Amino acid sequence: MTATGMAAAASSNIARQLEAADIKPVKLKGNVNHSVCKWCYSDLTLEELAQAASQFGMQSVELLNPDQFAVLKKYDLVCAMANGPGGIPKGFNRIENHATLIEGFQRMIPQVAEAGFPNIICFSGNRAGLDDEKGIENCAIGLKQIMKVAEQNKVTVCMELLNSKVNHKDYQCDHTEWGVELVKAVGSERFKLLYDIYHMQIMEGDVIRNIRTYHEYIGHYHTGGNPGRNEIDETQELNYPAICKAIVETGFKGHIAQEFIPKRHPLGSLYEAVRTCDV
């Protein structure tokens, strides 16, 4: 099928899904830049998700590779957080991982910049017996070696805060204060944290206070309902309108990305989440 044919098929499919979910998009307020993580919508093609995001008034579909960026351009979307090299368990906290990671970031950061996108994700890696102080030291050694290319290309490298209690056992960057100390150690405006609200609710709670206290070290936000990482609605314990209001009040101009796994109609749940966060 040609690219035109694929776009037409996606358009028809999305129209049917919006009708089935009784979705009638309304104009958003403009205070929040909305994004969505593609991996949560495995039943939708990137073309279909991009088209729906565009219709919803969103600005981004994220956690994509450079060979997927062209799809977003057709819908005037960005990839607010690009995938980086490597994975979650083996990150910058081990010196033996540095050569591969540094080569990968030095290659991929210019690709993200060429597309005009702002951020690329990275991970600390698992502790595997490494103490937190040494983990910060090792991460800083590696990250400093990619800051020049990040600064030259105006792309921010963001390390994600993940929980080590439920989903990512033994992950080292599992508390905001640890991440903040690492940002200070790296010492570049092009290294910040990806604050995942779901993960940090599990590890430390006190989400709004921590956002207000540490917002200058945060470059991006992810959502997710807790418990379960499902819809951000009355079935879970987080008050997302209040959280997003606190984020906006810090002066944050980046993106808030939906990263929950829908249990109901995927596009219906996504649209309701966008409206919930549109404060």
Residue 7 has pLDDT above 90, yes or no: no
Mean pLDDT, residues 72-86: 97
Mean pLDDT, residues 55-64: 97
Structure tokens at 152: 């030259």
Give rounded-to-5 percent helix, strand, coil for the chain: 50, 15, 40
Predicted local distance difference test score (pLDDT) of residue 19 = 67
Q: In what order do the strands lie in the sheet with 218-222?
A: 60-62, 33-37, 255-258, 218-222, 191-196, 156-160, 119-122
The mean pLDDT value of the chain amounts to: 95
**What's the sign of the alpha-carbon dihedral 215, 273, 262, 41?**
negative
Q: pTM value?
A: 0.94
Domains of the chain, with CATH numbers?
Answer: 3-277 (3.20.20.150)
Confidence band for 97, pLDDT divided at 50, 70 and 90: very high
Confidence band for 25, pLDDT divided at 50, 70 and 90: confident
Mean pLDDT, residues 216-243: 98
Mean pLDDT, residues 82-105: 97
Distance CA 37, CA 79 (A): 9
Q: What is the pLDDT of residues 138-170, one digit of tens each?
A: 999 999 999 999 999 999 999 999 999 999 999
Q: What is the pLDDT of residues 187-203, one digit of tens each?
A: 999 999 999 999 999 99
Cis peptide before 110 (omega within 30 of 0): no
